[in-house]
Amino acid sequence: MNTGSDSAQSEIEHLSACESVLGYEFKNRDLLKLSLTHASVAPTRLESNERMEFLGDSILGMVVCDRLFVKFPEEEEGQLTQLKSEVVSRTACAHLADSLGLVRFVYMGKGLHQANEIPTSVLAGVFESIIAAIYLDGGFDAAYQFISRNLDGLISHVAETAHNRNSKSKLQQWTQKELGLTPTYKLLNETGPDHSKNFQVSAVIGANSYPAAWGLNKKEAEQKAALNALRELQGEAEDSSPE
């Protein structure tokens, strides 16, 4: 039989392990515990992480705006807004929570623990709540560093994707003009859980398939596959042109 001291020690170890994953040590671990407490196990909604999720979402948006403003000084407001919406989306936050392995630290009801897949909303909410907990415990600079450390790679990835976003239309224009053909796209593979899938797609033009590409969704994979095909076709056209 577990004693009260055993339970307390177990919780200390649980929260300490979470701190190691986050790369941040709390002065007030009650904030961390609250950020990990889903409404399904909280006595009242005010004792769950929902209020912290609200705060964390706003802090996340502000930091991402700052990072985008600094990293992309030549982008216009409309493009920055689009990039922000992708970086702070529920899917992106859930993916980050999953990559950190945060689900094993969340206090939630048995129904969620036993589910095959944890809902995206739960994972995203935990990530945003943890941002709020770090902010309340260590101030804005601590939250800024945590967000930057975990999102800068995603920001660069989303920016690259946006840069290549018109690859499908460019490929279609090129192939119709030069070859009289319209590209199609073939799904080759998909991996990962429902909330964090990756897709592998290849562009097909006539009888030829071109180098495949992976993406976080089918549209992204198709854009990357189109870019691969376009680069190869334009390279072939340059090689065959008379000197």
Cβ–Cβ under 8 Å, residues 155 and 163? no
Q: Domain range spanning residue 234? A: 167-240
Q: How confident is the model at residue 21 (pLDDT cuts 50, 70, 90)?
A: very high
Which of 134, 163, 192 is at the close of a domain? 163
Which of 147, 163, 179 is at the close of a domain? 163
Q: Is the pLDDT of residue 100 over 80?
A: yes
Tell me the average pLDDT across 183-198.
Answer: 90
Tell me the average pLDDT across 3-30.
Answer: 89
Residues 82 and 194 in one domain: no
Q: How confident is the model at residue 219 (pLDDT cuts 50, 70, 90)?
A: confident
Residues 130 and 220 in one domain: no
**pLDDT tens-place string over residues 141-178:** 999 999 999 998 888 888 777 766 678 888 999 999 99
Looking at the structure of the chain, the number of domains it has is 2
Share of the chain above pLDDT 90, in %: 64
Residue with tokens 């009888």: 207
**pLDDT tens-place string over residues 47-99:** 999 999 999 999 999 999 999 999 888 888 888 898 899 899 999 999 999 99
Q: Which residue has the higher pLDDT, 241 or 64?
A: 64
- Residue 186 belongs to a domain with what CATH number? 3.30.160.20
Residues 140 and 173 in one domain: no
Task: List residues with catalytic annotation.
Answer: 57, 128
Q: Is the pLDDT of residue 1 over 50?
A: no
- Residue 58 belongs to a domain with what CATH number? 1.10.1520.10
Residues 128 and 182 in one domain: no
Which of 163, 181, 215 is at the close of a domain? 163
Residues 208 and 171 in one domain: yes
Per DSSP, the residues of 56-113 read HHHHHHHHHHHHHHHH-TT--HHHHHHHHHHHTSHHHHHHHHHHHTGGGG-B--HHHH
- Report which residue type is found at 135: Y
Residues 145 and 54 in one domain: yes
Residues with Cβ within 8 Å of 134's Cβ and at least 6 positions away in sequence, in order, are 22, 24, 26, 142, 143, 146
